[in-house]
Amino acid sequence: MTRETLRSAARASAPTFSPLYRQIKDFLIGCLERGEWRPGDVIPSEGELAQRFNVSQGTVRKAIDEMAAENLLVRRQGKGTFVSTHSDPRAYYRFLRLMPNDGIAVPSVSEPFYCQVVDAPPEVAAVFGLAPGGAVVHIKRLLRFGGEKVVFDQIFLQAEFFPGLTLELLRAGERSLYSLLESDFGVRMISAEEHLRAVAADEECAALLGVQCGEPLLLVERTAYTYGNRPVEWRKGLYCTRNHYYRNELG
Partner DNA sequence: AAGTGGTCTAGACCACCGT
Partner DNA sequence: CGGTGGTCTAGACCACTTG
148/146 Cα distance (integer angstroms): 6
Q: Which amino acid is at 63?
A: A
Residue window 22-61: x/- pattern of binding to a second copy, with contact defined by CB under 8 A: ----------------------------------------
Residue 46 binds: one of DNA, a second copy, none (C-beta under 5 to 8 A by kind):
DNA
- Binding-site size, DNA (CB under 7 A): 26
When asked if residue 9 is in the footprint of a second copy (CB under 8 A), the reply is: no
Q: How far is the CB of 251 from a second copy (least distance, A)?
A: 5
Residue 192 interacts with which of DNA, a second copy, none, CB < 5 to 8 Å by class: a second copy
Q: From the list a second copy, DNA, none, which binds 77 (C-beta under 5 to 8 Å, kind-based)?
A: DNA
Judge residue 136's burial from the number of C-beta atoms within 10 Å of its C-beta, 0-12 exposed, 13-18 middle, 19 or more buried.
Answer: buried
Determine the interface stretch with DNA among 72-80, 165-173, 198-206, 226-234 (rule: CB under 7 A): 72-80
Would you count residue 193 as binding a second copy (CB under 8 A)?
A: yes
Query: Which of 71, 93, 105, 173 is close enough to bind a second copy by CB under 8 A?
Result: 71
Report how far residue 92's alpha carbon sits from residue 103's, in angstroms, rounded to the nearest whole number: 19
**Rounded Cα–Cα distance for residues 149 and 17 (Å):** 53
Q: How far is the CB of 167 from a second copy (least distance, A)?
A: 26
What residues have CB less than 8 Å from 30, skipping those under 6 apart? none
Within 13 Å and on the Cβ side, how many CA atoms surround 12? 7
Binding residue for a second copy, selected from 52, 196, 227, 231, defined by CB under 8 A:
196
The interface with DNA within residues 12-41 (CB under 7 A) comprises 17, 19-22
- For residues 230 to 249, the per-residue mask of contacts with a second copy, x marking binding by CB under 8 A and - elsewhere, is ---------x-x---xxxxx
CB of 120 to a second copy, least distance (A): 21
Q: Which stretch binds a second copy (CB under 8 A): 16-24, 146-154, 173-181, 211-219?
A: 211-219
- Per-residue buried b or exposed e for 89-120, using 16+ beta carbons within 10 Å of the residue's own CB: eebbeebebbeeeeeeeeebebebeebeeeeb
Q: How distant, in Å, are the alpha carbons of 9, 40, 106, 161 from that of 61?
A: 21, 19, 38, 34
Pick between residue 129 and residue 173 the one whose CB is nearest to a second copy. 129
Single residue of 62, 94, 97, 144 touching DNA by CB under 7 A: 62
CB 194, CB 220: distance < 8 Å: yes
Alpha-carbon distance 171 to 177, whole Å? 10
Please report the sign of the dihedral spanned by the C-alpha atoms of residue 206, residue 199, residue 128, residue 37: negative
